[in-house]
A and B are shown apart, each in its own frame.
Chain A
Amino acid sequence: MDKSLEKPLEESRPLDCFGIQSHLSEFLDEKLKSELADAVDGHLIHCKQCTQRNLHYTNLIEAIRSLPKHPMPQTLKKPFLFFGLPWFSKWEHLPWYIRIVAETSGIIAITLIGISLVPKIRSFYEQKIESQLRDFRESASGTGEGKLTPTLSRDALVILPAQDSGDSIDGEDEDTEGKAPPKSGDDEEDVEANAKPFQGLALARQTELWRFTLKTVSPDELRAQVAKIIQSLKIQNVHAENGIQVPGGIEFDLLVAKGVVPQLKEQLEKLASQASNTTEPNLGTTDTFSWYKVKYRQKLPEGYVKAVIWLAQPNY
């Protein structure tokens, strides 16, 4: 309100109940000019209603002022983790584009470092295990048991009999190539678990597994012919010379020199073709013979791959 207009008006006539209202807020705050304050006081002496109201308002204001103040809890005062540290505060005040670039670079760097460290940590762990094994071998050599324990090192490893882990496809990757994809339920590991040790041979870190499937109503008839092929190609049969009889067919678990695989495949295809012509004329060669290749992570002698010939009955 314009003060210049206010003064002559107030001076010209005494304050009534309505006039009091326009100054009551300042009056309650005791911020009213002395002349006006005197005028209000003068009115309050005579007007019982305004006096009562003023008293009520004063009581109310006192009551509001006496309401308890709630201090902020300590938990809110304490900054979370390192957020209260001075460097973080400075960091927080950097422009957003600098922070985003730096934070993104940091995350990428940490991820890359993590990825590069994993093989090193693994190698360190393996070395530790190897040193423990070496110690064990040395301690056992005093009692004559050391001769039975093969040396285990990263560069020149010797296959130990694998333990049956019960995993489904432990040593295989999904990098298949061939005519038929791997079927669920194929358990190469069971075969791997029973593999005999090949002492003194260097091991490749990654190798291949070839799986040949010949579907036939009478696997026993083909068994001898497959065994013959294996013998002719001088392939080492890991499991048993004539394969193993398992539910659904016969399986040959082989360790094959890499160069021999094409010959083996050719021979088996030929055999499958003959078999389909004689015993199962309704089935084509492609139905009776299929193969695929996958990466195989189990340790094998250098230059060798694993091959499994599976003489399966059609239902399997």
Chain B
Amino acid sequence: MSATKGSDYFARTYGDLLYDLCVSLLRNSGEAQLVLRSLLKKMTIQSKNKKNAYTKYERAWILRMACEKLIHLYKQSDFQIPPEEQIKLDSNESVSIRLKQFESYFHRLVPEDQLLFLLKEKWKIPDTEIAMALAIPEGSLKIQRLQALRTLEEWIWTNHSKSH
């Protein structure tokens, strides 16, 4: 990455992606804006450091920074689904209703899994970049993806089958 990129460049190039990650994970647009601002500022500062003068892996570098920050914030805020929402989710008997409320089930996943899905399925980021962003080997990424899918399947289908 060139060492002469300002926050306007990062906002223009990666603003939508980063903002979507922030809103999807934090579920609060105000907080997401604050986090994005701080991320853009951090990127601008760090991009001036010659050690970060990448060109090829700029997006991965940015995603790494964003993921680190978001996971940290998520864990720090001890984000949990409110009990009433939890009960509502568990009391749904129909799979179709559960699928309609998929977003709520999705947010029950750990932040790493949520980010993985958002990056891979929603934003079509290549596995290599996601692996770099989440700081895990590419092989582990595939296993983590299947495990997360299995978890979601359990919540939506298996629990439903058990209740009958």
Residues of chain A contacted by B48 (CB below 8 angstroms) = 93, 96
List residues of chain A with CB under 8 Å of any chain B CB.
1, 21, 24-26, 53, 56-57, 59-61, 63-65, 67, 69-73, 75-77, 79, 83-84, 89, 92-93, 96
Task: A24 to B3: give the CA distance in the assembly, Å.
Answer: 41
Task: A70 to B19: give the CA distance in the assembly, Å.
Answer: 7
Task: A76 to B32: give the CA distance in the assembly, Å.
Answer: 11
Q: Does B11 contact A (CB under 8 A)?
A: yes
A73 near B33 with CB under 8 A, answer: yes
Identify A76's interface contact among B33, B103, B106, CB under 8 A.
B33
Task: A61 to B153: give the CA distance in the assembly, Å.
Answer: 11
Residues of chain A contacted by B3 (CB below 8 angstroms) = 93
B103 near A57 with CB under 8 A, answer: no
Residues of chain A contacted by B149 (CB below 8 angstroms) = 56-57, 60-61
| Cβ < 8 Å to A, chain B residues 20-58 | 20, 23-24, 29, 32-33, 36-37, 44, 48
Minimum Cβ distance to chain B for residue A72 (Å):
4
B122 near A69 with CB under 8 A, answer: yes
Q: Given that A57-B149, A73-B33 are known contacts, is A64 also in contact with B157, CB under 8 Å in the complex?
A: no
Main SS at interface, chain A? helix
A70 near B8 with CB under 8 A, answer: no
A67 near B24 with CB under 8 A, answer: yes
Task: A83 to B11: give the CA distance in the assembly, Å.
Answer: 13
B37 near A57 with CB under 8 A, answer: no
Residues of chain A contacted by B11 (CB below 8 angstroms) = 72, 76-77
A25 near B146 with CB under 8 A, answer: yes
A64 near B15 with CB under 8 A, answer: no
Task: A57 to B121: give the CA distance in the assembly, Å.
Answer: 12
B145 near A67 with CB under 8 A, answer: no
Task: A294 to B48: give the CA distance in the assembly, Å.
Answer: 57
Minimum Cβ distance to chain A for residue B160 (Å):
11
A70 near B24 with CB under 8 A, answer: yes
B16 near A93 with CB under 8 A, answer: no
Ranked 5 nearest A-B pairs via Cβ: A72-B15, A72-B19, A25-B142, A64-B121, A93-B4
Minimum Cβ distance to chain A for residue B78 (Å):
23
Q: Does B81 contact A (CB under 8 A)?
A: no
Q: Given that A77-B11, A79-B8, A89-B8 are known contacts, is A25 also in contact with B117, CB under 8 Å in the complex?
A: no
Residues of chain B contacted by A71 (CB below 8 angstroms) = 16, 19-20
| Cβ < 8 Å to A, chain B residues 106-164 | 106, 117-118, 121-122, 139, 142, 145-146, 149, 152-153, 156-157
